Structures are given as structure tokens and as C-alpha cells.
Amino acid sequence: MSDRPLTKNIDLARGPLSLRDYEAAGGYRGAKSVAGLHPNEVLERVKESGLKGRGGAGFPTGLKWSFVPQGPESEQQKYLVVNADEMEPGTFKDRLLMEGDPHLLIEGMIIAAYTIGANKAFIFLRGEYVLAEKRLARAIAEAKEAGHLGTNLFGTGYDLDIVLHTSAGRYICGEETALLNALEGKRANPRAKPPFPQVSGLWGKPTIVNNVETLCNLPGILANGVEWYQSLGSGGDYGTKMFGVSGRVKKPGCWELPFGVSIREVIEGHAGGMQEGYSLKAFLPGGGSTDFLTPEHLDTPLTYSAIGELGSRLATGTMILLDDKTCPVGMIGNLMRFFAHESCGFCTPCRDGLPWVDAIFRDLECGKGSAKDIAILHDHVGYMGPGKTFCALAPGATAPLGSGLKLFAEEFEQHLVHGACPYL
Amino acid sequence: MSENKLMKNSVITTSLSRELTAAEISEIEHEISLYPDKRAVGLEALKIVQRHQGWVSDESMRAISNYLDIPVADLEGVATFFNLIYRRPVGKKVILFCDSVSCWVMGCDRIKQKITDQLGIDYGETTSDGEYTLIPVPCLGDCDKAPVMMIGEEMHRHLDEEGIESLFRNAAVNKSGGDS
């Protein structure tokens, strides 16, 4: 049994495995094993496994599924939706999984859909991922032809149809209720919660939205068992996770590693350490919506709780590195520009706050800022923080903003004093 | 604006339509078959039409609106919301230039400047020969190969100024003043 259940089949040099080769490598064993199980038994296994959502929030997957109303009295039409709208700045893990082993995702979808009782599933794929689209479409066609999708799967009497939907590029579609609106053909504004999608989601029907990487964990759990799954990983989180590093390292990339591996091992080991002439100043541990950490945190194990205790989030597990030759104010300004552009404009703190923050950064970067501007930025960390907005976009933006203001107070000050960016 | 003029404008607007082509209709019908509600395929229809026409004109908007029974205002709300739906004509090839954080750290600003210098276009502009349109795109999800961009459906990775120079060498010959 592989200790890399997510990437064992991935070899970018040869392209993804065909259905036949995927099955020869032990694929679809997980999906076939659910045929002998009641959906509740599968649900219990997934709960027991301790699998948490890999999209960013880290919510327990089994618990999320358990909120779907079941039984003869419940709404019979249910949906599974795959969130494949990977757009978090600095995040490039789902692309690898979908391009590298599309059948793994399809197998995971079969397991999830069977468990929640969905006979229709949608993959919500970002429009720019054209290679992933082609490979998924081919894999879906292969699975249909082999009878792994369609009617009476594996002799269970259970039917499943998968639709591949490609989007057209908006970050907010990664927010699950905005994604559902987009899938219904509407402008992708987030919805009020409650009701939660598990109860009233796509077209008002019970819906589970799961991230690509989350679903790719399921075939291994079902085929090899909970005990095996929990033997991977340490520090209270089970299984493996895709961890990535981008920035000025020698070998940027994305690797499947067990939970509990140290940040140092990823940055200095797998990514080969910093390039000659550069040193590590700070990093965002899990995409653009996480708080900065510094080299003093390098020996922290990569688990949800350990990173949480440092006041940041593990989130997508893809780290973005800031080196000593790159301006921290410029880097935060770049992130603010992204969030301002990608705000759906539905609620005031986000729609008005982010462009204001962005405008201040544009002034600061060319040395036209004032002390009052810095105070306004601090105010916005509060105005746009958790609980003040409709969804998590603006609170996400306040993570690098708030932590960056504290950590780089001196660099902000230098921009005011010099009347220019000291890094230019 | 006088009431008279307003009325005149609205008459002009309603007359702006065209018939969808057989190929467009056949692709839209396929999408409709996949969803429980035909109004769900508004975005797909916009993408299909854009694939055939290069962009989404007012006439195309109204044609889709009529076909799917979606108010033009709602469809416009969707069309202008998504980065990859073009409501103005674009060049034969659209350059989606990633300007998000990992690419920025790796120096994408210089690469963008190089493209602008060489092709004579800034964001939102098209070369005078109609070949290229330059558009910024949020994180392309290829951050370990930053800086990156997409031209049409093709990814270009590990960009540097020399690479841009040779990539657009032939295009640069066609440059004649740009269209700023």
C-alpha cells in the first residue's frame, strides 16, 4: 500500500493512466468496495478516518456529509458538487491531481455520491484549466463506457451521472454558495447561510460541495481501511496532504506528504531551500488568505492545529515565500489588488473597503503615502474581518494585511520616510 | 435625456438581435440536456457563442436571451461578472497574463512591461493587426513555474524577457503604433 495515495499514479512525463491501467494499479477498488456497504457504513468510515476538507477550511468531511437529510421523508434529489475552481493565489495542487490522475477524482466522487445519495454530480472546473478539462472529459467517458458511471453501478442498483462544468474565471466561485449560484447560471454572489447547502443547495436540493483533493482521499480510505489511513500523518491530522512552495526557492513544486511534516522539511528539503543570494524573510503558509509566518516558525509541524496555534491557517497547504530582496509592502499590495478585483461587490465592507485599501497601497508603493493611510489600513483589518462580511473573501484579505502590518511595520514606515520604495 | 430620445433608444436596443447559428444552437441544446433548468446554461451559451464569434456582441446577447428565456439584464450580469467573457472584440489570441502573488514575487511586472513594449498594447488593448489582446488573469494555478501566462489554450511558463522577445518577434514586425 502506497504512502502516497493521492499521487502514486502521477507521472507528468507520461500523462494520466487510462482506465485500464488505473484499474491494473488497484484503482476503483475503493468504489467497488462500497457496493457491499450501506451508505451509513461508508459515512461512519469516513468520519472515523478523520478526513478534513482540503479546500481551505479544514472542516471534517464525514460531519459535513452527515448534515444531508436522509430517509424516505427527505428530498430524494441530492447533488454532489466538486469544487475544482482552484484560484487561491499561490495554490496549484488540484491542477496537478486532475491533470495527473483524473480517475482518482472520479472514483472519489462515486464514493461520496453513493454515501450522500446523490445520483447527479457536477465538477465545477475553472475555465483556464483546459488540460484538466480534456483529461477529465476523457476519463468520464472511459468510466461511462466501462459501466463505472451510469446506471446500476457495481450491481448496487445505484445510478450516477457526472457533468463537467467549466467556469469563466472568478475567484468568488470557490466560495461554495457562490459556486452554486454560478452553477445555476446566475451571477456568483454568495448566499446567506443558513440554510446551508447540505440542506438546501443546488436548485434548493440537498448538496455537498467538496474540494478535489478531499475527494481524492476517499478511494484510499475505502480500499485500504481507516487504520492504514490514520497510520499516515501525525499531530492529530490523518492521511497525506498536497504541500507546495512557490517563490525564490531552488526547486519550487508540489508534493504529497504526511501531515506533521515540518515546514523546514518542505521548504529546505523538498523545495531545495532558497536560491543563492536570497534569504527567507516570511511566508504565507496556505495561499493568499493566510497570515504571514516567519523563519522562526520553520520547525512547526504542518497540521491544522499547529499552524492555527501560530495565528495563521494551514488552508490550502501551498506556501508563498517572501525573500529579503522583495518588498513586503509590494507583495501585500499585490494581494490586495487581487482581492479588490475579485470581490463580488455584494456587501459593503468588501466592495468599498478593498478598493480603498488597494488605492492606499498604490500610493504607498510609489512613496505617496502618509501616516494616516497606515492608520486607515489598520482600521480596515477590523472593518473587513470575520463576521463583518457576507462571505470569507474580505476576511481572507485581512489575514496577510493585518499580519503584514504588524510584521513589516518598519518597511511600511520606510516607504513614508523615503518617499519611495526602498527595494527599488 | 428627453422622453422621446429614451423611447427611440429602447426601440433601437430591441431591434439589436440576430439568429443563433445551427452550430451554436446544437451545442447550447447539448448543454441544456445536462441541467434540470435551461436558464442554468446562460454562461455556457455565452462561452459557446464566444467560441464561434470571438466575442459576445449586443446582438448575440439578445439572441441568447431570447433562446434561453433569460432577461438580457440577468445575462449581462453574468457576462460582465466573469473574466473570460469578452463583451468587446478581442484579438485572434488572448494573452491571459498572471499578475498574482507568486508570479509577482518572481518578477512578472518586468515581463508584462516587456510584452507591452514589444506589442505596443497595455491591459485591455489589442494589437493593431488584430492578433493579440492582453488581459490580466487572477492566479493561473501554476505557481511553481512562475511567472506564467496563457496564450489561447496554451500555458507559457518560466517566463523571462528573452523568451518574450523571441515569442513575439514576428508579431513585433506587425506593430504599427498600437491602438491606445
Flag whether residue A88 sits within 8 Å of chain B, measured between CB atoms: yes
User: Which of A230, A257, A276 is where one domain is finished?
Assistant: A230
Distance from CA of B24 to the nearest CA of A (A): 17
- pLDDT at residue A39, rounded to an integer: 95
ipTM of the complex: 0.95
In the predicted model, what is the mean pLDDT of chain A?
A: 96
Residue A95 and residue B142: Cβ atoms within 8 Å? yes
Average pLDDT of the segment spanning A211-225? 97
The reply to whether A214 and A262 lie within a common domain is no
B128 has a pLDDT exceeding 70: yes
Average pLDDT of the segment spanning A124-128? 96
How does pLDDT run across A251-266, given as a tens digit for each residue? 999 999 999 999 999 9
Among partner residues A185, A321, A334, which is closest to B43 by beta-carbon distance?
A185
The reply to whether A61 and A146 lie within a common domain is yes
How does pLDDT run across A334-363, given as a tens digit for each residue? 999 999 999 999 999 999 999 999 999 999
The reply to whether A187 and A107 lie within a common domain is yes
- pLDDT at residue A35, rounded to an integer: 86
The reply to whether A177 and A70 lie within a common domain is yes
- pLDDT at residue B164, rounded to an integer: 96
Average pLDDT of the segment spanning B107-131? 96
Model confidence at B180, pLDDT cuts 50, 70, 90, reads very low
Residue of A nearest to B99 (CA): A334
User: Which of A183, A198, A230 is where one domain is finished?
Assistant: A230
- pLDDT at residue A236, rounded to an integer: 87
- A206 within a domain of the structure (yes/no): yes
Residue of B nearest to A400 (CA): B101
The reply to whether A315 and A170 lie within a common domain is no
A71 has a pLDDT exceeding 50: yes
Task: Name beta bridge partners: B136.
Answer: B97
Best of B31, B96, B135, B144 to substitute, by most chain A Cβ atoms within 10 angstroms, is: B144
Residue B19 DSSP code: P
- pLDDT at residue A2, rounded to an integer: 83
The reply to whether A213 and A255 lie within a common domain is no
Instruction: Classify residue A23 as left (phi > 0), alpha (psi -120 to 50) or beta.
Output: alpha
The reply to whether A218 and A350 lie within a common domain is no
Residues from chain B contacting residue A170 (CB–CB below 8 Å): 81-83
The reply to whether A256 and A333 lie within a common domain is no
Residue A88 and residue B106: Cβ atoms within 8 Å? no
How does pLDDT run across A7-25, given as a tens digit for each residue? 999 998 999 999 999 999 9
**CATH number of the structural domain spanning residue A405:** 1.20.1440.230
- A235 within a domain of the structure (yes/no): no
Sequence-distant (6+) residues with CB within 8 A of B120 are B127, B128, B175, B177, B178, B180
- A42 within a domain of the structure (yes/no): yes
Distance from CA of A114 to the nearest CA of B (A): 20
Sequence-distant (6+) residues with CB within 8 A of A277 are A325
Residue of B nearest to A289 (CA): B101
How does pLDDT run across A172-209, given as a tens digit for each residue? 999 999 999 999 999 999 999 899 999 999 999 999 99
Model confidence at B15, pLDDT cuts 50, 70, 90, reads low
Flag whether residue A163 sits within 8 Å of chain B, measured between CB atoms: yes
User: Which of A168, A201, A230 is where one domain is finished?
Assistant: A230
**CATH number of the structural domain spanning residue A51:** 3.40.50.11540
B169 has a pLDDT exceeding 90: no
Among partner residues A87, A130, A163, which is closest to B138 by beta-carbon distance?
A87
| Overall domain count for chain A | 3
**CATH number of the structural domain spanning residue A306:** 3.10.20.600
The reply to whether A36 and A64 lie within a common domain is yes
- A390 within a domain of the structure (yes/no): yes
Which residue, A179, A185, A181, A242, is CA-closest to A215? A242
Average pLDDT of the segment spanning B64-80? 95
- A141 within a domain of the structure (yes/no): yes
Tell me how far the alpha carbon of residue A404 is from its chain's centroid.
22
The residue segments making up the domain with residue A361 are 328-418
- pLDDT at residue A234, rounded to an integer: 86
- A240 within a domain of the structure (yes/no): no
The reply to whether A95 and A37 lie within a common domain is yes
Task: Name beta bridge partners: A161.
Answer: A120
Which residue, A311, A248, A289, A269, is CA-closest to A401? A289
Best of A334, A351, A421 to substitute, by most chain B Cβ atoms within 10 angstroms, is: A334
- A339 within a domain of the structure (yes/no): yes
- pLDDT at residue B11, rounded to an integer: 45
CB A188 within 8 A of CB B81: yes
How far is CA B108 from each of CA A264, A289, A298, rounded to the nearest angstrom? 27, 21, 27
Model confidence at B1, pLDDT cuts 50, 70, 90, reads very low
Distance from CA of A335 to the nearest CA of B (A): 6
Residue A248 and residue B105: Cβ atoms within 8 Å? yes
Residue A335 and residue B101: Cβ atoms within 8 Å? yes
How does pLDDT run across A99-122, given as a tens digit for each residue? 999 999 999 999 999 999 999 999
Among partner residues B85, B143, B144, which is closest to A168 by beta-carbon distance?
B85
- pLDDT at residue B8, rounded to an integer: 47
Q: What percent of chain A has pLDDT over 70?
A: 100
- pLDDT at residue B179, rounded to an integer: 42
User: Grid coordinates in use for A288?
Assistant: 493568499
Q: Which residues of A295-322 are buried (b: 16+ CB within 10 A; e: fewer)?
A: eebbebbbbbebbeeeebbbbbbbbbbb
Residue A94 and residue B141: Cβ atoms within 8 Å? yes
Average pLDDT of the segment spanning B115-130? 95
Residues from chain A contacting residue B104 (CB–CB below 8 Å): 330-331, 334
Average pLDDT of the segment spanning A157-186? 95
Residue B145 and residue A326: Cβ atoms within 8 Å? no
Residue B141 and residue A128: Cβ atoms within 8 Å? yes
A97 has a pLDDT exceeding 90: yes
The reply to whether A72 and A147 lie within a common domain is yes
- A289 within a domain of the structure (yes/no): yes
Flag whether residue A183 sits within 8 Å of chain B, measured between CB atoms: yes
Residue A331 and residue B105: Cβ atoms within 8 Å? yes
The reply to whether A202 and A285 lie within a common domain is no
Helix or strand run (H / E) with residue A330:
helix A328-342
E strand map for A275-424: 280-284, 318-323
Residues from chain B contacting residue A358 (CB–CB below 8 Å): none
Average pLDDT of the segment spanning A156-177? 94
CB A42 within 8 A of CB A111: yes
